[in-house]
Structure 1
Amino acid sequence: MSATRPWEWSERKSRALQVGGMLLCGALGLWAQRTLDSREHIGLAWAVYGLAALGFCFLVRWVKPEREPPAETQTGVPSPSGLFTMGLMAGYGSFFLFGGNRFALWNVLPWLGGLALAFLALRRRDDREVGWWRCLRQSLASGRVVIPWEWAALAAVVAVGALFRFHQLATIPAEKWGDLGFHYGDVFSIWRGDYQIYFHRWGGGREPVFFYLLALYARIFGFSSYATKAISALIGLATIPALYLWARELFGREVGLCSAALLATSKWHIILSRSGFRASLLPLFVSLVGYSFVRALRTRSDLDAARTGLLLGLSFYTYPSVLALPLAMALSLAALVLADRRAFSRQDLQKAAILVGVLALVSIPLVRIVSSNPFSYLNRGGIGIDGALLGKKLPSQSTWTILRTLLDRFRRAILQFHYEGYYNGYYMIPLQRHMGLVDGVLLAFGGAYCLAYWRRKYNIMLPAFLVTMLLPPVLAALPSPDWATNMVRSSGAIGPAYILAAIPLALLRRRLEALWPPEGWKVVVTLISPTLRYARQWTMAAGGRYLAVFLMAGLFAVQVRDTTLAYFRDYPRGVAWGNYPMHLEMARVIREFDGNGPAYIKTYPFWYDGLTVRAGMQDWDWDGEISDLTPLAGLQGKVMVLVHPEDQEAQAALRAMFPRRMEVTHHDYEGRVAFIAFYGERGQP
């Protein structure tokens, strides 16, 4: 065996020290996170966390996971044709046709026709071959199915994500309550032929995409409480490959798969995906827009710029917090220009014009509605520009006080990832950090890496997106003295957070592979069965790559275990009434009594959600809520009244009014009385 050269030994020792240092930083990060969870030695824990992240960045300063520029970058392409301009003008002309807040054939046709014409003009000038089409063509030519390994890996990740999003979906969470009851009313409106652009019959208004998807699903599989949760779960499942595309465009397949795997097992995204809330569309469209945006920057293609405008315009129809997305894109561009002014030219202004032109065209129906009453649209907490910011509370405060409040709110928004999260038990385990143990530490390291080396490629884009998508909950809570981070409004930060969390895994794998190359390292596995006289031997290449795979598998196992316990054990305990579907049970009791007589619910003075009861009954016009017992005076025949267990006055009055009666007590899962069903009869039935 030849002797190892001194310089080779020195380099290997340096790499070994780097790997050991990275693992030590990871261990310190885990200790710091556990210490923060215990709420002890908080200052020391933050200091160790910060030093571990900085140490990790120093150790990987020579490793570059950023993806290299593609070979298909388009340069010197001609300006868009007149056909593209004609398409835009035809679509813009439909602006005045959307005045009635309705989608109809006579306004949708010119709008979508102009959009289709514009894309047709760009597609005719783009001769690039789509990746999936290339694989399909090669499979047909060779006569066998060719499936890239990363597609198989992504399919496995999506399968794990599906398990977390659909397992026990019918019972966890058990019922919808709060403003989620509006969903049912909006779906009923669609079924009645009321195709609204912007739903605002109840509450402050809601964007339409989620409701049209829900109406379509309910037409096929039936309408139920499960349907709303199933749609949001499907949307959450689609977010996994969307995030993979964005991460792959930035850092390659390795980071793409790791980010998808982390998202598939994320308790934050799992809770959001199973909530039945339209905010589940926010991470999906942030990921899609981010992917298309990066691809347009890399390829300089007119078609990719138009696709970015299309997706960004569609995102405005999903959830109000998405309005921060254009700002995130603008900040990213500004930072990229600051990092490398030579990366952009005057020709890129043409791409920006195409993006803005398509964006304006896609947004026309919503802009037409908003232009008639902009304050009604902006005066919503989901956007972050509510009544306080419109002049109801803040003018009495000094500029310094407002700025200090903003900084405090933003500090709390950052702390949601590792320290203290949302208090609402339906959308998060109350006050628990939104990230898990493993992905939380990885996020800290990945964020530190992108900030430390922000001039490399598109590293600054992820921190810019993450910070900007936190602005809606920060602005919305500005007037509130007692505020906790709203998990729903800040869910646009989910995508950037999990790409950042995947970066350290790729960096560690590359350092391990550089330390132990697969060449010359073999593992021999022998299986011997003396009874069956059978022996089999496998010889596999070994090295740092496979050690990294085993290490990642262990980290993901910890992530899966923590997420399983957090969601299926801890989360139901924090939901109202211990996850007991009280209002759906009320609806069931009313449906069973149907045909025997009138049914009422005595509401005042106790809290009650009539929207959820109507949703469970699938009867949006039901009007059996009473604040007192006056409607029962003189009533003949059978009647049922649901009363609160603490409403002793109503119970005594019902007993006096109906000598012939029966009372059925309904208990929640912990044995507490949820409500009382009073059955009475007077005179002839």
Structure 2
Amino acid sequence: MKSPVEPKRDALIIFWQWARRHPLAAWLALALIINAGGLCLLRNNPLSSWAVTLWLGSLVALVVASSVGEVSISSLHVRAWARRFWSGPVVLEFLAIFAITLLGFTLRVTALDHYPPMMHGDEGEMGILALGILNGTQPLSPFSTAFLSHPTMFYFWQALSMAFFGRNEVGLRMLSVITGVLSIPLLYLLMRLGFGRLAGLVSVFLLAVSHLHIHYSRLAINNIQSSTAALLVVLLLAAARAKGSSLLYTLAGLTAGYSIYFYFGSRAIPLIGGVLLIFLWRERRAEGKDLLLFALAGWLAISPLLLHYVEHLSPLLERMQEVYLFSPRNIQHTLGQMGGEGSRLDILRWQLLRNLRFFLDYGDASAFYLRDLPVFDLGTVLLFWVGMGLALAKPFRFGHAALLVWFWIALTLGGVLTNDAPNAPRLLMAVPAVFAFGGLFVARLFSLCERLFRPTSQILLASFLLLLGVFVFKVNYDRYFVEYAQKAPGMIFLTMAREMRRESRGYRIYLLGAPHLYAGHGVLRFIAPDAEKVDCLEVEDCLSLQPGDKGVIFFIVPQRLEELKIIRARYPQGEYGEAYDNYGRLLYATYRLPPESLAHLEG
């Protein structure tokens, strides 16, 4: 008679034998089981650390499943890679990319503590949430939503950035710097794989010096992460096509799914990946297994956030309605911008033209940059549009198709179908493709000259490109570090917050800012968290001062400067000060009452 343990042991033996015969299916089953367990824990307790652990475990199991039979590294492989790397051309190629990446990093990180000279309220709000995570005072699940319904995973990355680089604006913004710089080698790998070294070098130089890309790599918002994620998905699919690797298809799916944790516009990335995957399947470069792995990877990556959306659907729908072009409010708003009546087709046509002008001579209509500063220089514009034409001439080549699908889906979902176009944060996913088209054109031009003309013509063309590179660099540098420095809007928030931070130990803050500015503004709270700030909705509310160990500073916006007369009449012994922007326009005024002046007054 068998003991009760023997049937269980036999079942385990049978399962183990099946798993050894079918390792892919076994690891996939394990990934799904672990993921389901994590979702159950997450539903019962959104703050469960075990749920996060199981989610990560399911992703690891899926990566292992897709790498079965693929990953094999021997000492012979290592020695072959080393010999290839130290060959002359490869070393020069590496040094060139390293130099351009270093240039891009320098342009993005230099003087990060005081440039850009503004800080948007969204940066402050996100920074406050990240600080709460870092300090342990803000219990947040990485799989939920918070400020303006943005997914909270991004704030955990910002908290990690501040843990390494400081709990200030530098630490907060460094995450975007790193993510923006990372796009430089990624774009090179994509262009090198599809179009050669020259296309890669030209593309990444244009990206490295682009003032638009530099600016958004210096802001502590989640747009540059979505742009880099879109680039990474296209790169992984291109590499999967070249290598025939199921692991790369899985990594592409994980990236596409994980990108949803960043900006709302990231929802275009799975669509970009899906369209390209179908293209590869029709080319017979991707098998049914690869499509399954891509979809399953995306599902496992995003499933915890989808669970949150199922239980909290209204914030997601409200945000979509807020920006969707054809919501009733936005239809009326857009018709007002058009200056008259029109059909939905007229609105679409108008939106398309405005968004295309973004890639010609328009600025950024969002509140994060400048409307009157063209986002692309003339050289980049010419290279982009000619490169786009070359790709459209042969759209079914995979390299061309990848760039076209990437650009047009990002343009349509991020620009044409959203309000207040052209909006750079929403269009940022399409921006690396602009530089890729430019690199494509230059590579084709050199190839044509090589076939038709003597080598001297290539030397002349190389000299012209060198001059063009100098021109592109100078225009972008001047636009960002000279013109924008002079025109930068919104300086009042960061300038005022820094003064509040300096004076927080010795003074209480009374703010006469309503209805334009309140003490709860995100930048004031993030930069000067320890300052005692009080809103003076009416000046009379803040005139009953008491002596103490701290003095008082009144911060007064220009719209309420007349009320300073009332304060001065009550407390004539104060010190008056002013803060100006780069055009000499008044940002705000201050009226300082040191502690001794209050003590003397009361005495």
The one-letter amino acid paired with 1:486 is: N
The one-letter amino acid paired with 1:405 is: I
Taking the TM superposition and a 5 Å limit, the aligned residue runs for 1:249-288 are 249-288=193-232
- CA gap of 1:104–1:646, structure 2 versus 1, over 3 A, is same
Match of 1:196 among 124, 141, 146: 141
**1:603, distance to aligned residue in structure 2 (A):** 1.6
- CA gap of 1:259–1:569, structure 2 versus 1, over 3 A, is same
3-state SS of 1:469 partner? helix
1:636 and 2:546 matched: yes
Match of 1:612 among 523, 531, 537: 523
**1:135, distance to aligned residue in structure 2 (A):** 8.0
Q: Deviations over 1:33-64 (max 9, x none)?
A: xxxxxxxxxxxxxxxxxxxxxxxxxxxxxxxx
1:349 and 2:288 matched: yes
Q: Deviations over 1:60-119 (max 9, x none)?
A: xxxxxxxxxxxxxxxxx9993322322233223322322378454211121111221222
**1:367, distance to aligned residue in structure 2 (A):** 0.9
Match of 2:511 among 596, 601, 623: 601
- CA gap of 1:499–1:206, structure 2 versus 1, over 3 A, is same
Matched-pair contact (CA < 8 Å) for 2:23–2:68: no
Matched-pair contact (CA < 8 Å) for 2:130–2:156: yes
- State how far apart, in whole Å, the 2-side matches of 1:212 and 1:631 are: 39
**1:446, distance to aligned residue in structure 2 (A):** 0.7
Match of 1:674 among 582, 587, 592: 587
3-state SS of 1:647 partner? helix
- 1:525 aligns to what? none
Match of 2:406 among 462, 465, 471: 465
**1:120, distance to aligned residue in structure 2 (A):** 1.7
- State how far apart, in whole Å, the 2-side matches of 1:359 and 1:143 are: 34
Matched-pair contact (CA < 8 Å) for 1:425–1:571: no
Matched-pair contact (CA < 8 Å) for 1:91–1:110: yes
Taking the TM superposition and a 5 Å limit, the aligned residue runs for 1:434-583 are 434-474=375-415, 477-478=418-419, 483-516=420-453, 543-576=456-489, 581-583=491-493
Matched-pair contact (CA < 8 Å) for 2:487–2:582: no
1:303 and 2:303 matched: no
- 2:345 aligns to what? 403
State TM-score, norm by structure 1: 0.75
Mind listing any 5+ residue stretches in structure 2 that lack a counterpart? 1-20, 336-340
Residue range with higher mean Cα deviation, 109-118 or 639-648: 639-648
**1:442, distance to aligned residue in structure 2 (A):** 0.7
- State how far apart, in whole Å, the 2-side matches of 1:142 and 1:361 are: 37
Taking the TM superposition and a 5 Å limit, the aligned residue runs for 1:218-229 are 218-229=162-173
**1:456, distance to aligned residue in structure 2 (A):** 2.6
- CA gap of 1:504–1:212, structure 2 versus 1, over 3 A, is same
- CA gap of 1:622–1:292, structure 2 versus 1, over 3 A, is farther
- 1:163 aligns to what? 106
- State how far apart, in whole Å, the 2-side matches of 1:248 and 1:140 are: 20
**1:425, distance to aligned residue in structure 2 (A):** 6.8
- CA gap of 1:220–1:408, structure 2 versus 1, over 3 A, is same
**1:311, distance to aligned residue in structure 2 (A):** 0.9
3-state SS of 1:666 partner? strand
- State how far apart, in whole Å, the 1-side matches of 2:572 and 2:44 are: 55
**1:385, distance to aligned residue in structure 2 (A):** 6.4
- State how far apart, in whole Å, the 1-side matches of 2:250 and 2:260 are: 16
3-state SS of 1:675 partner? strand
- 2:500 aligns to what? 590
- CA gap of 1:353–1:454, structure 2 versus 1, over 3 A, is same
- CA gap of 1:195–1:514, structure 2 versus 1, over 3 A, is same
**1:611, distance to aligned residue in structure 2 (A):** 1.6
State TM-score, norm by structure 2: 0.85
- 2:39 aligns to what? 95
- State how far apart, in whole Å, the 2-side matches of 1:135 and 1:424 are: 50
1:230 and 2:141 matched: no
Q: Looking at secondary structure, tell me which structure has more helix per residue.
A: 2
The one-letter amino acid paired with 1:611 is: G
**1:543, distance to aligned residue in structure 2 (A):** 4.6
Percent of residue pairs bearing the same amino acid type: 21
- 1:67 aligns to what? none
- State how far apart, in whole Å, the 2-side matches of 1:423 and 1:397 are: 13
Residue range with higher mean Cα deviation, 117-126 or 327-336: 327-336
Q: Deviations over 1:418-437 (max 9, x none)?
A: 13232357424x23432221
Residue range with higher mean Cα deviation, 165-174 or 238-247: 165-174
**1:410, distance to aligned residue in structure 2 (A):** 1.7
The one-letter amino acid paired with 1:438 is: G
Q: Deviations over 1:257-283 (max 9, x none)?
A: 221111112222112212332211122
The one-letter amino acid paired with 1:126 is: E
Q: Deviations over 1:275-300 (max 9, x none)?
A: 33221112211110111122223333
- State how far apart, in whole Å, the 1-side matches of 2:494 and 2:312 are: 36
CA RMSD between the two structures:
3.3
- State how far apart, in whole Å, the 2-side matches of 1:462 and 1:143 are: 29
Q: May I ask how many residue pairs the two structures share in their alignment?
A: 566
Taking the TM superposition and a 5 Å limit, the aligned residue runs for 1:46-445 are 80-99=24-43, 102=46, 104-127=48-71, 137-138=79-80, 148-193=91-136, 194-197=139-142, 200-202=145-147, 204-333=148-277, 341=282, 343-344=283-284, 348-380=287-319, 386=323, 389=326, 401-424=343-366, 426-428=368-370, 430-445=371-386
Residue range with higher mean Cα deviation, 327-336 or 103-112: 327-336
- CA gap of 1:490–1:641, structure 2 versus 1, over 3 A, is same
- 2:563 aligns to what? 650
- 1:24 aligns to what? none
- State how far apart, in whole Å, the 1-side matches of 2:56 and 2:45 are: 17
Matched-pair contact (CA < 8 Å) for 1:165–1:273: yes
The one-letter amino acid paired with 2:196 is: G
- State how far apart, in whole Å, the 1-side matches of 2:191 and 2:119 are: 33
**1:616, distance to aligned residue in structure 2 (A):** 1.7
The one-letter amino acid paired with 2:435 is: Y
3-state SS of 2:186 partner? helix
The one-letter amino acid paired with 1:274 is: R
**1:374, distance to aligned residue in structure 2 (A):** 2.2
Q: Deviations over 1:413-471 (max 9, x none)?
A: 1111013232357424x234322211110111110011111123331221121111012
The one-letter amino acid paired with 1:115 is: L
Mind listing any 5+ residue stretches in structure 1 that lack a counterpart? 1-76, 518-541
- State how far apart, in whole Å, the 1-side matches of 2:73 and 2:472 are: 38
Matched-pair contact (CA < 8 Å) for 1:336–1:455: no
- State how far apart, in whole Å, the 1-side matches of 2:58 and 2:557 are: 57
